[in-house]
Amino acid sequence: PSDAEVVYATAFAHESGRGSDVSSSYDTLVSKIGGKKAQSVRALCWALLWGKTTGNTVNNARDKLVKFQWMQLRTVDLFVVGYYGPLFLVIGVLNKILEVAPSIPKVVSAVVGAVLWLPQALNIIPLGVASIVLNLGVV
């Protein structure tokens, strides 16, 4: 695929959002679709990276809990399950519902996406702000 969005998203995924390939493909993306749309694509890439990373951490900790491997649990595992577990439970339930739901119009799909974005943002913002403060503003 040669679409600028796909090229950028692929570079972003391979380099976890950082690196020269990400920067150059973002510049190309801006020139192809404009700054506002490029910012939206970048925000989506960050949200997907957060979801992948956090989801893997939640799943790993959940598996340790379910398999009674409690001595292998770290403090961060318990924090992540407690903090993000409910959000990922809601996402999982919604995914199961959507598997059997009939097709919906694009506008309804967009509304569902916007509604789902809100709890994700509410979970990300406090830790994001804390991270920025603890890292003295370096993102």
Per-residue pLDDT at 8: 97
Please report whether residue 62 resides in a domain: yes
Please report whether residue 101 resides in a domain: yes
Please report whether residue 139 resides in a domain: no
Domain count, the chain: 1
- Quickly list DSSP for 121-138: HHHHHHHHHHHHHHTTT-
Per-residue pLDDT at 139: 62
CA distances from 116 to 1, 30, 53, 57, 73 (A): 29, 27, 18, 20, 29
Asked if 56 contacts 64 with a C-beta cutoff of 8 angstroms, the reply is no
Please report whether residue 39 resides in a domain: yes
Cα–Cα distance for residue pair 123/54, rounded to 1 Å = 11
Domain that holds residue 74: 4-134
pTM (predicted TM-score) = 0.66
Amino acid at 25: S
Please report whether residue 104 resides in a domain: yes
Please report whether residue 64 resides in a domain: yes
Per-residue pLDDT at 1: 64
The pLDDT tens digits along the chain (139 residues) read 689 999 999 999 999 999 999 999 999 999 999 999 999 999 989 988 988 888 899 999 999 999 999 999 999 899 889 988 888 888 889 889 888 988 888 898 888 888 877 877 887 788 888 888 888 877 6
Amino acid at 102: P
Per-residue pLDDT at 51: 83
Cα 46 from chain centroid (whole Å): 6
Please report whether residue 24 resides in a domain: yes
